Structure formats: structure tokens, C-alpha cells
Structure 1
Amino acid sequence: MTYNNILSEFNNGITTITINRPKKLNALNKETIQELHEAFKAADADKNTKVVIVTGSGEKAFVAGADISEFADFDVENGGKLAAKGQELLFDFVENLSTPVIAAVNGFALGGGLELAMACHFRVASDNAKMGLPETSLGVIPGYGGTQRLPQLIGKGRAMELVMTAGMIDAQTAHNYGLVNHVTTVDELLPLAEKIAGKIMRNSSVAISKAIKAVNANYKDGVDGFAVEIEEFGNCFGTADFKEGTTAFLEKRKADFPGE
């Protein structure tokens, strides 16, 4: 598929999706959100894709925020619809993707950019990264899951401070807070993400998809995460990956998971 605002490349089990609007610092507009949805959906449907990495083009920005010009004149109803549609198409969609998604955060990840990174299953960052949710400085609040995911990742007090001050934190602070898993140089960012992806790909993609579902269940209102874990644990026993994994262990050899 041809995209206007993103690039999607497959190599050795990894699909790398790059937001490619450098003149706009990779800001998210409606078209980009739709294209990202299609790219993530296609990667998830591709059995050969074991891990997805999402990043921004250039060294200045992962995603510097949403494209404010698209909604500056919205009313209450349209504002609500904007948030609901965006969460459905991209942010909730990525969080619940059965294929693991790594955010490789290069440069600015602000507003919708940080919200996209937080929707990914985990994050690595370059040492020049800056992260924040500046929406209150525009008279609005984060609308793509930021008020929910940021406290989950760094705690309520720190999240409240970042949202209220509309401030930014650097990559090392983000690492100290637990917002990102690793910090490295700009040049080593994608190689690090790919190295981690390689470790993921050694394991059962079926088991990983079930683990994603079970972990996410803990953060859903009205859902018993322990019950989901028990169910998905049991379901693993009916998979070819379980048979191969246990057989390989008993035979003292490396497992060759079929992904089924």
C-alpha cells in the first residue's frame, strides 16, 4: 500500500512504521492517523511480522503532537468525536494489537506523539528525546488516552504535575520515571529496538499475543485480569507453539515455533 504520510518497511520479521511528515515535525493529522491504523492492521495480519517498531523520520521528532490547525475551530460535539475516533482507530488499536509494538522515540514526543508512544507495548528513546503533554497550555486536555496511560506508567503524582505544568522531561528523566525502558544515542536507537525485537522473535508469537491480552486486562475497568490470565494460560495448551516449546525443552534443543 502507498501512503502519503508514513513509510512501512518489512525486514527479517520486523515491520518498521515511520511517521514521515518532517516539515510538520511528524505531527498527527486525521490522514496520518488513518494511515497508521491501516499500516498497523496490515502488519498484525501478516504472519511473517513478529514485531512492529514505530518511529519518526529525522532526528528532531518522533511526533511533535497533533495537527492543531485541524481542530482549532471545533465545538464540543466535534471535539468529543475527534478524541473517540482517534482512540478507536489508533491508540486503543495499537495497545490491543496482538503483535508486540515497540516505540523508538527520537526527539520530541509531545501531546499525541507521547500518547502514541504510551499506547505501544513499551518504549526506547534516544538521548535527545523530550516528552510531555502540553495540552493544558492550549486550553484542552490530552484526548488520546494521555490522562489514563501516563499515570499507569509513572504514577498519579508525576502524571498530574506533567499535565498541569504542560512541561517536558528529557529521556533520562523518562527512564528514571519508568516511562521508557532504555535510553541510547540517536544512531543506536533503531539498532537497539531491533536487538530487542530479535529477542522477542525467539519466543512464541502466540504466547506473546496472549500475554499482551492478559497484561492489558489488568487496566480495564470491570475486567478480572487474573481470570483472563487463567483463560489465556489454558488456551496456550491447545497451541502448536506450546507443543513445540515443551517438546524442545525436554529434548534440550532450541524451539522452532510455528506461530500457531
Structure 2
Amino acid sequence: MSSKNLAYTDLIVKKESGIGKIIINREAQRNAISPNTWKELEWAIDDFEDDPNIKVAIVTGAGNKSFAAGADLKAMQKRTAKDILSSNAPRVLMKMEQSRIVYIASINGVALGGGCEVALACDIRIASKNAKFGQPEVLLSLIPAGGGTQRLPRIIGESMAKDLIFTGRVIDGEEALRIGLISQLCEFEELEQETEKKAASILKNGPLAVEYAKTIMNSTITYDNRGYLLEKLYQGHLMNSEDTKEGISAFLEKRKPNFKGE
């Protein structure tokens, strides 16, 4: 099905000259990702995959402040353990990661929680100097459950990944570049141009060679579904805990949480 025939409300999806573009278009919510956003993201990924003309895809956020500021916590406050276990987020990001298409994250602001996990599932990450990164879920008594516990250690190493996940701290673009979370940092005004330049530099190469290179590199990664399943199971358990209810409420009410380990 063509992207033109899909009723996108959370995304803007474009195709031009062999490049697909996905813009998370919830600027008023800082491009926070809702269950509907995940559904639409899967539509776009499947649509690109079915289009032989698309070789490279760019993922970014609307505006100049957020790539994606994590989950939509107002929506998450209503979610149950069953909702978490049936979430399609891990599947969507696995499709992106294992796609024949090269995905480039053009990170135009904060990429936190699920937003950071979307960037992690991309092949290349380019960021503007106003970008911020983090997996701050533990601050709400949650865990990164969109593959963050699996991909982040692979990309930046186990020690640094544990540091970021266990503390929930947020880092800037300079540190992200230093630890290998991104491959390029530029001024905000240059981000779109630099991302498109990167996409063009890939497109000019032999398409089969690029596709096969990605396939071979992915084949050396051990995809153990147990890790992704455990993310869901533990996140589901946390959704029933008093600490998580307190963490989300405290965040929305702009106060410090009072965790009790319950």
C-alpha cells in the first residue's frame, strides 16, 4: 500500500529520488511516541520495504527541539501490563534494524526513552548540537522496553550503557559523539543538509553491495529474542507496581517521586 493511501496523523511520510523520509509530527507533545505513533511507524517501514526504489530512509522529528521525547506518558498512565506485553514497539524497531534499507536518524533535539530507542534501531545517527540523549526510564520506575537494554550495550559498550540506563542521566551531543552513540555532530542549521548529503553518498554506491554489507554486519549480531521478551515481561510487571504509578504521576505533576520499592 502506498504511503499516500495511509491515513497518517502522527507522521509525515515522503518519498523522493530513492530516499524515504519519516517525520514524527507531534511537535506540541515534543514528538512523544504514542501507541498510534508506533502503529504508523510500522506502516511507513513496511511501505518503504515494499518499494524497490527506496534504498535509504531518514527518520527525524518535527520542529527544532525534539527528535522524540520518549513515550507519551499521559497515554502510558492508562496502560496495563497486558498493553505492554502486546506492544508492537520491539517488532517495529526490529523491522527497521533488519531492513534492507539503510536508516539514518537525523536527531534534531532531545531523543529520550523510546525516542532514543528509535535512533538506536537506525544504522547511522547524525545529531545537531542541541540534541540530548538518554534512557531515563528508571527515574519513573520503568525500564527501556523498546530494545534499549539490548542495542545500547552493542553500540556504546556494556559499561557505558549500564551507566546511562542505571542512572537515567541525559547526555549532550558532544558526549554522544565521544562514546560512539552518534557518528556525526553538526550545527542545527546544517543538520538537514548533512543528513541528505550522507544519504546521497550511500545512494551513489552499488545498491546490492550496500544491502549485502548491512545483511552481513547484522548476521554477526546475536539476535536473542529472550532479551526483548524479558524487557516486555519486566515492564509489564512494573506497570502493576505502585512505584511506577507514583513515578509517572510525579513526572506529570512536576514533583519528586517517593519510591517505596513496591
Sort the TM-score into its range (normalised by shorter chain).
0.7 to 0.9
Distance (whole Å) between structure 1 residues aligned to residue 164 and residue 146 of structure 2: 16
Q: How far off its partner does 1:12 sit?
A: 2.3
Unaligned runs of 5+ in 1: 223-260
In the alignment, what sits opposite 2:170? Answer: 168
Q: Does 1:100 align with 2:102?
A: yes
Q: Does 1:12 align with 2:17?
A: yes
In the alignment, what sits opposite 1:220? Answer: 222
Distance (whole Å) between structure 1 residues aligned to residue 25 and residue 223 of structure 2: 35
Percent of matched pairs sharing the same residue: 37
Distance (whole Å) between structure 1 residues aligned to residue 83 and residue 21 of structure 2: 32
Distance (whole Å) between structure 1 residues aligned to residue 97 and residue 28 of structure 2: 28
Higher relative contact order (CA 8 A, sep 6+): 2
Aligned residue among 59, 71, 91 for 2:64: 59
In the alignment, what sits opposite 1:154? Answer: 156
Task: Give 1:29's aligned amino acid.
Answer: S
Aligned residue among 70, 79, 86 for 2:75: 70
Aligned residue among 193, 196, 200 for 1:194: 196
Distance (whole Å) between structure 1 residues aligned to residue 139 and residue 217 of structure 2: 33
Task: Give 2:22's aligned amino acid.
Answer: I
In the alignment, what sits opposite 1:3? Answer: 8
In the alignment, what sits opposite 1:37? Answer: 42
Unaligned runs of 5+ in 2: 225-262
Task: Give 1:67's aligned amino acid.
Answer: D
Distance (whole Å) between structure 1 residues aligned to residue 39 and residue 218 of structure 2: 23
Q: Does 1:49 align with 2:38?
A: no
Q: Deviations over 1:14-36 (max 9, x none)?
A: 11110000001111111111111
SS, match of residue 188 in structure 1: helix
TM-score (norm 1): 0.81
SS, match of residue 15 in structure 2: strand
Q: How far off its partner does 1:221 sit?
A: 4.5
Q: How far off its partner does 1:13 sit?
A: 1.9
Aligned residue among 87, 92, 103 for 2:90: 87
SS, match of residue 8 in structure 2: coil
Q: How far off its partner does 1:121 sit?
A: 0.7
Between 1:196-205 and 1:175-184, the stretch displaced more is 196-205
In the alignment, what sits opposite 1:125? Answer: 127
How many residues matched? 219
Q: How far off its partner does 1:73 sit?
A: 4.1
In the alignment, what sits opposite 1:138? Answer: 140
Distance (whole Å) between structure 2 residues aligned to residue 12 and residue 216 of structure 1: 26
Q: Deviations over 1:8-58 (max 9, x none)?
A: 122222111100000011111111111111112112222222210010000
SS, match of residue 14 in structure 2: strand
Distance (whole Å) between structure 1 residues aligned to residue 36 and residue 185 of structure 2: 30
Task: Give 2:105's aligned amino acid.
Answer: A
Between 1:7-16 and 1:51-60, the stretch displaced more is 7-16
Moved over 6 A (4+): none
Task: Give 2:47's aligned amino acid.
Answer: A
C-alpha change, 1:77 and 1:180, in structure 2 (3 Å) is same
Q: How far off its partner does 1:207 sit?
A: 2.2
TM-score (norm 2): 0.80
Q: How far off its partner does 1:78 sit?
A: 3.2
Q: How far off its partner does 1:188 sit?
A: 0.8
Asked if the contact 1:6–1:35 (Cα under 8 Å) also holds between the matched residues in 2, the reply is yes
Q: Deviations over 1:160-211 (max 9, x none)?
A: 1111111100001000000000000111111111111111111122222222
C-alpha change, 1:210 and 1:139, in structure 2 (3 Å) is same
Distance (whole Å) between structure 1 residues aligned to residue 79 and residue 216 of structure 2: 37
